[in-house]
Amino acid sequence: MKNVLYVVIAVIIGCLLLSSKFIEDEIIWKEIDEGLYYTTYNAPIKSSHSDSKIDVLKISSKLYNFNLLSAKEKGGSSKTAKDWSKQENQIAVINAGMYMADHATNVGYMKNFNFVNNGRLNSDNTVAAFNRKTDSVPEFQIIDLTCQDWDVLKTQYNSFSQSIRMMDCNQKNRWSQQSKKWSMVVIGKDKEDNVLFIFSRSPYSVHDFIDILSKSSLNLHNLMYLEGGPEASFYLNHNKTTVEKMGSYETGFNENDNNNQFWPIPNVIGVSKKVRD
């Protein structure tokens, strides 16, 4: 009987420990400006490298513009996120997506007003859409090609960047588990219509990172993967708050936490404040 009791206690403790993996550390937002909030919080699961912290910039799509900046369109070369921010007068900058071997072309569909960076829609299931043409659609959204009408929506925005779906329109984790892990920058939309720039220098499998974010109080609607490893970049400089975050670890490529500088990237999404009437 005593042995049975020990087993029951062990099972209860195991269940509590398992559930505690996802007990979220409190997210405390710092207001940078009206409609612009930043936080860095402790991930509930510790990573093998770096500080296991997650950085998030929450941006009101009603008060801020999202700007797709491309070296291909600008007629120049790749720049670091910091240089993109300074040269294009952007409050914040992140990767716009993964790029091809030419270090210029986005892996998926990318269009900015009349300029086409990549006109081919690939098999990835999400497209960030912004700079709307009509008030009938949200200012910014991550279109899920499996549950939304692309043929209609592609005519209602000026700017698009396609990448890999992480969380679908039903808030389901769409990434299978794998042993590979890396630093990450992703873009999300919450249920209050805010856009989220999310960065983790600490490497996680994408599946685990989605689970961490979905169980947080970020109140996510959906998520799209942008970049991983040392290319992953997040830069913020506004109202005396400066944040410089670059990735490092990537399984099979850069298996260390030693990268301390931004890598040049060809395509970024920047943020600027809307001019109010």
159 token code pair: 């700017």
Give the global pTM: 0.91
- Please give the average per-residue pLDDT across 167-181, as a whole number: 94
For 187-200, write each residue's pLDDT tens digit.
Answer: 999 999 999 999 99
Given a cut of 50, whether residue 6 has pLDDT beyond it is no
Note the residue count of the chain.
277
CA neighbor of 92 nearest in space, from 228, 244, 229: 244
What's the pLDDT tens digit per position in 214-266? 999 999 999 999 999 999 999 999 999 999 999 999 999 999 999 999 999 99
277: confidence class by pLDDT, cuts 50, 70, 90: low
Q: What angle do CA 188, 193, 198 make, to 5 degrees?
A: 25
Read off the pLDDT band of 25 (50, 70, 90).
low
